[in-house]
Structure 1
């Protein structure tokens, strides 16, 4: 008997349906001739708790820390024993086993740890399924690989699991026990990913709270030129008081110049015209989709992940969704036309986009060298009856299909024009762009980014028809949203201060994984560290106090991003996991030594005071705004501009 072990029941059903002769269900498995397909229910096993290593560890005590297992153990999850018994029984009858976990690091771990836990010593093949439709599964079944080729991926996943246990168990116990000494009754959870994510939000909230706006001033002039009208902006020189972004901090120079401008004639002294070609955005990874869906439809990251899972498992409309890749296999290009015609034919919007596609084009999205264990999200080709889907499901599906269809549109071509005028001896600049070829752009928006300038010739004259000084004010950074926080987790190097580490992380960017980022946000909310205020994510007093009480290294992204770099080296280059875990244990000793009840008590008190001050500041701003709306005297136009 050949036994196929799938990661979850939906994948097992898809595999069984692709086998010849059909399958019958019996005792937690699907039987199809000489092949039996069974399944896990997500992780059937988990790292054993501390008291499995020593019963004394059931009681939380600081003098037990750090807890460092010498022989790692796994334990069945509470609801997994029945399915584990099914797999154990089937393994005794099997002559070969096929590992059918999802095509990623965690999928490799999830099934292989079960196979090894149950003591199987025979041959194991690897089945990689990223599309649950029958033809795709049949193709995957026809090209099984040796599971031994995936041992580095397994070791990386196993190392990640053990490292997370070491880090989370020890630091959570240390800070919870210290918290009790400081008067906090409850668990203070610390994790290698969730805590740096919380740190991002806490630091952003502090920037917003401590931000002090200041005014600056701009001067524009409307100019009549031979070809029409345009607006140009004064570029004050260094002889004026400017901030670091070149903004004018004193109004008087702008007023003095504005008084001289009406009716003044000047000259176009510099004209630069450049044609730019821009290829279509690549197909989506999960995180890129979560960012766009949050901005367009207000969906949380977790909602987008849940929708994608339904589109993949229940509706079978998209390929494997938990992907960090934005490229597609080159072999998919030959079937792209038939796949998209089938996938998009029943929806008016998709049908309109499909009609404009040119399937003779080939974009950079088709690249085997950039496709790893899985590829970008794409339609499977199953006809999509979008009227039968929930509205959010249909919205997300259209985004996924659109980004693949866009690969068969020509590039966007624009002509960017930059003009400099001299008026009263001062420099004024104007800019605009003209769309020469819309290409893929109409699939994404009908709005032009910048209006074109009228026809211009270098050296031609101009005349000022109007001018005005505008008073503006710097604006604080914006609070994180689901979209911006996911994007920050994807591009974490931007939040790293050390230039050497930052350069390294650009090659290995990412805090968390495609599969975990949405869950991290929800976990922080459930544990009371974050709260949603409309679309914004803000840190609570508890979250702010926890970050203030931790060593800075525990709440910054450098450590966990470098972890991912080490894990990638284990997975891709077969590096030895032992030095990685040894380095972590060394770090743990230092981190545990910094747990301090007085520091935690002070951090919580400070966080409470800051929260009260922030509420008072917001109330004051609201009151000021209401009084301003009721005023009847002279008003000055103020436009808030991001600092």
Structure 2
């Protein structure tokens, strides 16, 4: 008997449906001929708690730390025992076992740890399914591999689980215990990913809270040229008081200049024209989709992940969603027309986009060299009746399908123009963009990024028709949202101060993974460290105090991002688990030594004071002086406060 162990019931059903013969249900399994398909329910096993290693560890004590298991133990998750019993029974009857976990690090771990824990010693085959539609699963069944090939992936996943346990158990116990000494009654959870994410928000909130605005001044002129009019902006030279971004800090020069400019003659002193061709955005990875869906529809990262799981498992409309890849296998290009026709035919919006697609085009999105265990999110081709989906499901499905459809549209072609004008000895600049060929752009937006400039020629005369001064004010950074925080986690090198580490992290996977980023945000909210205010994510008093009380490195992204690099190296056989875990243990000793109840008490008190302190008064924005049409205010609003 051949036994296939799937990661979850939906995958088991898809595999069974792709097998020849009738399928019948058995206790915790599906049977088709000589093949039995059973399933896990996500992780059936988890790292054992500390008291499984020593009953004394049931009591939390600082003198027990660090807790360092010599031989790692796993224990069944709650409600997993019945399904484990089913798999144990079937393994005893099996002649052949097939591992059918999801095609990622965690998928490799959660099935393989069950197979090993239940004592199977013979070879195991590996089935990789990223699309639940029957033809795709049937193809995958003809391409079974030796599971031994994925042993490095398993070692990396097991190392991640053990490292997370060591880091989280020891630091959470330490800070919870000193929290009690500091007067906080509750668990203070510390994790190798969640805490640096919290640190990003705490530091951003501090920048907003401590921001002191200052005024600056801009001068514009409306110019008459041979074939029209345009607006240009004064570029003050270094003889004026400027900030580090070249903004003018005193008003007197612009007032003086604005008074004498009307009617002044000048010329086009420099002209730069560039013809740009921009290919369509690539198909989505999960994180890229979460960013766009948050911006366009206000959906949280967790909501997008849940929607994608339903589109994948329940509706079978999209391929495997927890992907970090934005490329598609080359073999998908040949069937793309049929796939997209199936996905688009019942929806007016998608149908209209389909009509404009040229399926003879082949973009760089199809690349076997850039596809690993996963490929980008894409429609499966199953006919989609979007009227039967929830609105958010239909919105997300359209985004996924649109980005694949866009690969069959021509590039966006623009002419970008930058012009400089010399008037009364002063330099003014203007820029504009002319769309030569819209290409894929109408699928994404009908808004022009910058209006075109009238035709210009270098040396051409111009005359000032009007001039105006705008009083502006510097603004603090925006608070994080789901979209911007997911993007920050994807591009974590931008938030790293050490130049050498930043260079190292530019090519890494960032903070967290496609499968975990949404859950991290929700965990921080559930634990009272973050709160949502509209679209904004703000740190609570408790979250701010926790970061302030921890060693700085614990709340910064460098360590965990470098961890991901080490885990990737283990998965690619360029590193071993032993040195990685040994380095972590050494690090833990230093971190635990820094646990200080007094520092935590002061942090809690400081955070409480900052939360109740009045915000700085903002200078009101003044209307543009002498302006034909006013500029927009640069004034920052009062930051919202976040209760703990």
Q: TM (normalized to structure 2)?
A: 0.97
State the alpha-carbon separation in 2 of the partners of residues 297 and 258 from structure 1: 43
SS at match of 1:158: helix
State the alpha-carbon separation in 1 of the partners of residues 17 and 338 from structure 2: 22
SS at match of 2:474: strand
**Equivalence for 2:595:** 595
**Equivalence for 2:633:** 639
**Equivalence for 1:12:** 12
**Pairwise mapping of residues 495-510 of structure 1 onto structure 2 (< 5 A)?**
495-510=495-510
Task: Note the residue ranges of structure 2 that are not aligned, 5 or more in a row.
Answer: 624-629, 638-644
**Equivalence for 2:640:** none
**Equivalence for 1:174:** 174
**Pairwise mapping of residues 514-553 of structure 1 onto structure 2 (< 5 A)?**
514-553=514-553
For the 8 Å contact 2:472–2:622, the answer to whether it is kept is no
**Pairwise mapping of residues 174-193 of structure 1 onto structure 2 (< 5 A)?**
174-193=174-193
Which string of whole-angstrom CA distances, capped at 9 and with x for unpartnered residues, describes residues 536-595 of structure 1? Answer: 000000000000000000000000000000000011235211100000000000000000
Once the two structures are TM-superposed, the CA of residue 204 in structure 1 deviates from its matched residue by 0.2
State the alpha-carbon separation in 1 of the partners of residues 380 and 356 from structure 2: 20
The answer to whether the aligner puts 1:372 opposite 2:372 as a matched pair is yes
Which string of whole-angstrom CA distances, capped at 9 and with x for unpartnered residues, describes residues 611-635 of structure 1? Answer: 111xx328x66xx98x999xxxxxx
SS at match of 2:224: strand
For the 8 Å contact 1:290–1:483, the answer to whether it is kept is yes
For the 8 Å contact 1:323–1:374, the answer to whether it is kept is yes
State the alpha-carbon separation in 2 of the partners of residues 604 and 190 from structure 1: 16
**Equivalence for 2:437:** 437
Number of corresponding residues: 631
Which string of whole-angstrom CA distances, capped at 9 and with x for unpartnered residues, describes residues 47-78 of structure 1? Answer: 00000001110000000000000100000112
Once the two structures are TM-superposed, the CA of residue 507 in structure 1 deviates from its matched residue by 1.2
The answer to whether the aligner puts 1:220 opposite 2:220 as a matched pair is yes
State the alpha-carbon separation in 1 of the partners of residues 503 and 489 from structure 2: 16
For the 8 Å contact 1:224–1:230, the answer to whether it is kept is yes
State the alpha-carbon separation in 2 of the partners of residues 126 and 642 from structure 1: 55
State the alpha-carbon separation in 2 of the partners of residues 422 and 79 from structure 1: 76
**Equivalence for 2:250:** 250
SS at match of 1:36: strand
The answer to whether the aligner puts 1:2 opposite 2:2 as a matched pair is yes
**Equivalence for 1:91:** 91
Once the two structures are TM-superposed, the CA of residue 83 in structure 1 deviates from its matched residue by 0.2
SS at match of 2:612: helix
**Equivalence for 1:617:** 615
**Equivalence for 2:428:** 428
SS at match of 2:205: helix
**Equivalence for 2:389:** 389
The answer to whether the aligner puts 1:459 opposite 2:484 as a matched pair is no
Task: Note the residue ranges of structure 1 that are not aligned, 5 or more in a row.
Answer: 630-635
The answer to whether the aligner puts 1:358 opposite 2:352 as a matched pair is no
Once the two structures are TM-superposed, the CA of residue 22 in structure 1 deviates from its matched residue by 2.5
State the alpha-carbon separation in 2 of the partners of residues 346 and 318 from structure 1: 16
The answer to whether the aligner puts 1:240 opposite 2:234 as a matched pair is no
State the alpha-carbon separation in 2 of the partners of residues 369 and 161 from structure 1: 29
The answer to whether the aligner puts 1:30 opposite 2:24 as a matched pair is no
State the alpha-carbon separation in 1 of the partners of residues 441 and 572 from structure 2: 37
State the alpha-carbon separation in 1 of the partners of residues 631 and 316 from structure 2: 54
**Equivalence for 1:633:** none
State the alpha-carbon separation in 2 of the partners of residues 319 and 525 from structure 1: 29
**Equivalence for 2:577:** 577
State the alpha-carbon separation in 2 of the partners of residues 640 and 576 from structure 1: 52
State the alpha-carbon separation in 2 of the partners of residues 579 and 31 from structure 1: 44
For the 8 Å contact 1:152–1:574, the answer to whether it is kept is no
SS at match of 1:122: coil
State the alpha-carbon separation in 2 of the partners of residues 77 and 532 from structure 1: 31
**Equivalence for 1:327:** 327
SS at match of 1:107: helix
State the alpha-carbon separation in 1 of the partners of residues 615 and 94 from structure 2: 69
For the 8 Å contact 2:471–2:622, the answer to whether it is kept is no
Provide the alpha-carbon RMSD of the alignment. Answer: 1.5
Once the two structures are TM-superposed, the CA of residue 638 in structure 1 deviates from its matched residue by 6.7
State the alpha-carbon separation in 2 of the partners of residues 155 and 523 from structure 1: 26
**Equivalence for 1:632:** none
**Equivalence for 2:72:** 72
State the alpha-carbon separation in 2 of the partners of residues 422 and 527 from structure 1: 59
For the 8 Å contact 2:5–2:98, the answer to whether it is kept is yes
The answer to whether the aligner puts 1:290 opposite 2:290 as a matched pair is yes
Once the two structures are TM-superposed, the CA of residue 178 in structure 1 deviates from its matched residue by 0.5
State the alpha-carbon separation in 1 of the partners of residues 636 and 223 from structure 2: 27
State the alpha-carbon separation in 2 of the partners of residues 249 and 363 from structure 1: 48
Which string of whole-angstrom CA distances, capped at 9 and with x for unpartnered residues, describes residues 415-454 of structure 1? Answer: 0001111000000001001001101000000000001100
**Equivalence for 1:411:** 411
State the alpha-carbon separation in 1 of the partners of residues 587 and 337 from structure 2: 53
Q: 1:10 to 1:638 in 2, by over 3 A?
A: closer
Moved more, 93-102 or 568-577: 568-577
For the 8 Å contact 1:416–1:431, the answer to whether it is kept is yes
Once the two structures are TM-superposed, the CA of residue 639 in structure 1 deviates from its matched residue by 1.6
State the alpha-carbon separation in 2 of the partners of residues 367 and 31 from structure 1: 37
Once the two structures are TM-superposed, the CA of residue 24 in structure 1 deviates from its matched residue by 0.5
Q: 1:5 to 1:109 in 2, by over 3 A?
A: same
Q: TM (normalized to structure 1)?
A: 0.97
Moved more, 504-513 or 543-552: 504-513
SS at match of 2:183: coil
Which string of whole-angstrom CA distances, capped at 9 and with x for unpartnered residues, describes residues 79-111 of structure 1? Answer: 100000000000000001000000000000010
For the 8 Å contact 2:125–2:146, the answer to whether it is kept is yes
The answer to whether the aligner puts 1:272 opposite 2:272 as a matched pair is yes
**Equivalence for 2:556:** 556
Q: 1:576 to 1:637 in 2, by over 3 A?
A: closer
State the alpha-carbon separation in 2 of the partners of residues 417 and 532 from structure 1: 42
**Pairwise mapping of residues 138-149 of structure 1 onto structure 2 (< 5 A)?**
138-149=138-149
SS at match of 2:369: helix
Q: 1:454 to 1:350 in 2, by over 3 A?
A: same
Q: 1:638 to 1:84 in 2, by over 3 A?
A: closer
State the alpha-carbon separation in 1 of the partners of residues 595 and 26 from structure 2: 54
State the alpha-carbon separation in 1 of the partners of residues 576 and 293 from structure 2: 39
State the alpha-carbon separation in 2 of the partners of residues 612 and 113 from structure 1: 50
State the alpha-carbon separation in 2 of the partners of residues 609 and 528 from structure 1: 18
State the alpha-carbon separation in 1 of the partners of residues 373 and 311 from structure 2: 20
For the 8 Å contact 2:7–2:39, the answer to whether it is kept is yes
State the alpha-carbon separation in 1 of the partners of residues 575 and 429 from structure 2: 55
